[in-house]
Amino acid sequence: MKFYKHSVLFLLFVLFNCYLEAQVHDRSWRRIVNQEEGKWFSTQEAKNIAENVLLYQRDIGGWPKNIQMQIPLSKSEKNKLKLLKSDTKDITTDNGATIQEMLFLSKMFHQIPDEKYKTAFLKGLDYILEAQYDNGGWPQFYPLREGYYSHITYNDDSMVNILKLLKEIKNNTGFYSIKPSTTILKQVEDAFNKGVDCVLKTQYVQNGVLTAWCAQHDAKTLQPAKARSYELPSLSGKESAQIVLLLMDIENPSNDIKNAVVNAVNWFNKVKITGIDVKRTFRNRRITSKKIVNDNSAPPLWARFMELEDNTPFFCDRDGVKKSTLAEIGEERRNGYAWYTREPQEMLNKFDQWEKLNKIEISKKIENEYNVVVAKDGTGDYSTIQDAIYASKAFPYQRVIINIKDGVYNEKVHVFSWNTKISLIGESKENTIVTFNDYFDKINLGRNSTFHTSTLLVEGNDFQAKNLTVKNTSGPVGQAVALSVNANRCYFENCAFTGFQDTVYTAGEGFKQYFKNCYIEGTTDFIFGEATVLFEDCIIHSKSNSYITAASTPENQEFGYVFKNCKLTANNDVSKVYLGRPWRIHAKTVFINCEMGNHILPEGWHNWKKPDAEKTTFYAEYNNLGAGFQPEQRVKWSHQLTKKESKKYTKKNILGDEQKSTKGLWYEN
């Protein structure tokens, strides 16, 4: 009887251990990694899986994705993996790759402190640090692959997972059992901070208000970018939720982080969808049908993709054509993709407590509504320029001065027609930067899309801007306006306007505008429009062989563009630049006392294949200098002014609106 009892106990012991070693065979790799750490990680089964993990790791430090590490490998499969060690193709952090393997090795090391686990973990960490862009983002694959794989990737929480790992390591929370050296810890902290900064910079600004994020952002411009054919630039209801949870988990958050969280939460509350649910039909554990049904009792839903302009949900098949309802796309994409999510609810549930802990000041008392401060760090009256404009009085009796602290303001700024007498005063031209990257094909509103691309659009009369830079950073992709001025009596001093084609648009028949001591750069027709404009003491810089001006002066308007005491410069590889060509056939452009580099072509002017324009345009020069001033070789239909004729081009005659304030004429500032 005693022998029988011992035999039974021994049998139970063997069966229990067999159970321990076999209990995870039918589970996915993700579930194995994320199970609660315990004695299982010291079993032979865990060791066998760990050997697979080490084999799959490449010399660069990362792992390929979608590998079920728990599946036993044959001898030939192991040999093939050894031969692949130096291969860098398909190494990624997408779908949890690399992060999952590092977590598994950490749990193994905690139970079995074998140096090979530690070495592999630290090698993975080195890989992650190396893969980070200078701007703080991470691509989907590293080394970089062509196409959307090089975008900054929030998709499937790739970058958020990286930042979570770095945060645990830098804070020494004990979540990871392996501790890097002090030198590496400093690199980890720097990488985390840069990553968070990238997150803040990529938060999308919609009509001057921070909203959410796209699943992927361009690595250079930081703007929303396209991935697969059905993953178009959009605001993400899924990935954005995890980004906000990450920001909410940061200790002692900065004002920028607080501002990002509050605005994102406001956006999530604004775009949530109620009264519907997604009904799924299954067969053999696979979804065979999805359809939207009315259900007032269902918890809120959020769309995976929403329009950048107005948050409208949209859906796509593999043809990339937007549809307004899920039912409009084919079964394969409809059933095989997560078009709706409830992930934001977790973040919203935590927000109230987070808000109490972080003392957010939603509104501030403005001491002087005619003299306000914009500062990105939250120390001013407003954190965005557009918010300050929204709050400005309509048709004020006195000037509204908006002082802008140094910083990069990634926003489209619109000074509306009722926002007259607005002054935007930057802290410095070099460091007060307003930037955006809309361009013709991106706007895609038809033949007039150019006029919707501006970074700064001014429609309020008596506008002033000083000491700031306005950029369109879309690059050489066609028409892309930095500054659009469609208002009268507008004054710009010590400002820079940078872009490529169509940098500065000066609009308004009969309107007067004045640029003093400004820098303007571009490629083709980068100063264009119909207004009367005086450019004085400005630098006009050409970035390609093309045309500087494209005036569209109305027939009965006495002055078009007048450049006085300006300097015309160019990139070193630029040698064939025209002073102008006529957008409309009565174009008027005059250069007086200007220094012209040798990039200016001897003929000077071009008729834009409009022979009739040679009779109707007025292109003229007087007393210019430099290698680019060759009056005897100019086209015969241009003019060289006499001294008497040049005297007509005074500031008063050109800008001669006699509207006076108590401080003098508008153009005397």
Tell me, what CATH number does 546's domain have? 2.160.20.10
Are 187 and 257 in the same domain? Answer: no
Are 115 and 245 in the same domain? Answer: no
Q: End of a domain among 167, 182, 201? A: 201
Are 283 and 411 in the same domain? Answer: no
Are 520 and 569 in the same domain? Answer: yes
Are 154 and 265 in the same domain? Answer: no
Among the listed residues 352, 525, 537, 573, the single catalytic one is 525
Instruction: List, in order, residues 6 or more apart from 405 with CB less than 8 Å away.
Output: 373, 374, 375, 376, 377, 379, 380, 427, 432
Q: Is the peptide bond before 554 cis (omega within 30 degrees of 0)?
A: no
Section 607-618 average pLDDT: 96
Whether 62 maps to a domain, the answer reads yes
Share of residues in the chain with pLDDT > 70 (%):
94
From the CB of residue 6, how many other CB atoms can be counted at a distance below 10 Å? Answer: 10
Distance CA 141, CA 584 (A): 49
Residue 157, Cβ density class (10 Å: 0-12 exposed, 13-18 middle, ≥19 buried): buried
Are 342 and 469 in the same domain? Answer: no
Residue 177 C-beta-side C-alpha neighbours within 13 Å = 17
pLDDT (tens digit, 9 = 90+) per residue, 550-571?
999 999 999 999 999 999 999 9
Q: Where are the alpha helices (DSSP H) in 440-545?
A: 440-443
Query: What is the per-residue pLDDT for 3?
Result: 42
Are residues 619 and 592 in contact, defined by beta-carbon separation less than 8 angstroms? no
Are 345 and 477 in the same domain? Answer: no
Distance CA 612, CA 623 (A): 28
Nearest to 484, CA basis, from 527, 521, 443, 441: 527
Q: Where are the alpha helices (DSSP H) in 218-297?
A: 239-248, 255-271
Position 502, amino acid: D
pLDDT (tens digit, 9 = 90+) per residue, 505-514?
999 999 999 9
Distance CA 570, CA 100 (A): 51
Are 292 and 426 in the same domain? Answer: no
Give yes or no for residue 330 having a pLDDT over 60.
yes
Whether 644 maps to a domain, the answer reads yes
Q: Is 438 designated active site?
A: no
Whether 508 maps to a domain, the answer reads yes
Query: What is the per-residue pLDDT for 208?
Result: 72
Residue 286, Cβ density class (10 Å: 0-12 exposed, 13-18 middle, ≥19 buried): exposed
**Res. 657 pLDDT band, cuts 50 70 90:** low
**Res. 661 pLDDT band, cuts 50 70 90:** low
Query: What is the per-residue pLDDT for 56?
Result: 98
Whether 381 maps to a domain, the answer reads no
Nearest to 521, CA basis, from 474, 472, 556, 558: 472
Are residues 350 and 342 in contact, defined by beta-carbon separation less than 8 angstroms? no
Query: What is the per-residue pLDDT for 365?
Result: 66
Whether 424 maps to a domain, the answer reads yes
Q: End of a domain among 140, 173, 201? A: 201
Q: Read off the tokens for 286.
A: 């696979």
pLDDT (tens digit, 9 = 90+) per residue, 77-111?
999 999 999 999 999 999 999 999 999 999 999 99
Query: What is the per-residue pLDDT for 656?
Result: 86
Question: Hey, which bits of 565-634 come out as E strands?
Answer: 567-570, 578-580, 588-592, 595-596, 618-622
Are 45 and 193 in the same domain? Answer: yes
Beta strand 216-217 with 152-153 is antiparallel
CA-based Rg of the chain, rounded to a whole angstrom? 31
Give yes or no for residue 118 having a pLDDT over 90.
yes
Among the listed residues 157, 256, 438, 502, the single catalytic one is 502
Give yes or no for residue 22 having a pLDDT over 90.
no
Share of residues in the chain with pLDDT > 90 (%):
85
Query: What is the per-residue pLDDT for 289?
Result: 87
pLDDT (tens digit, 9 = 90+) per residue, 191-204?
999 999 999 999 99
Q: Where are the alpha helices (DSSP H) in 370-522?
A: 385-390, 440-443
Give yes or no for residue 7 having a pLDDT over 80.
no
Query: What is the per-residue pLDDT for 663?
Result: 61
Query: What is the per-residue pLDDT for 148?
Result: 93
Give me the number of domains the chain comprises.
3
Give yes or no for residue 526 having a pLDDT over 90.
yes
State the residue range of the domain holding 353.
Answer: 203-362
Distance CA 457, CA 195 (A): 31
Are 426 and 511 in the same domain? Answer: yes
Query: What is the per-residue pLDDT for 288?
Result: 82
Whether 488 maps to a domain, the answer reads yes
Are residues 159 and 138 in contact, defined by beta-carbon separation less than 8 angstroms? yes
Are 247 and 317 in the same domain? Answer: yes
From the CB of residue 21, how many other CB atoms can be counted at a distance below 10 Å? Answer: 15
pLDDT (tens digit, 9 = 90+) per residue, 237-275?
999 999 999 999 999 998 889 989 999 999 999 999 999
Q: End of a domain among 201, 217, 240? A: 201
pLDDT (tens digit, 9 = 90+) per residue, 199-238?
999 999 887 789 999 999 999 999 999 999 999 999 999 9
Q: Is 502 designated active site?
A: yes
Give yes or no for residue 4 having a pLDDT over 80.
no
Tell me, what CATH number does 269's domain have? 1.50.10.20
Query: What is the per-residue pLDDT for 665?
Result: 85
Per-chain mean pLDDT for the chain = 92
Are 190 and 236 in the same domain? Answer: no
Position 33, amino acid: V
pLDDT (tens digit, 9 = 90+) per residue, 452-471?
999 999 999 999 999 999 99
Instruction: List, in order, residues 6 or more apart from 79 with CB less than 8 Å away.
Output: none
Whether 8 maps to a domain, the answer reads no
Whether 382 maps to a domain, the answer reads no
Q: Read off the tokens for 20.
A: 């321990």
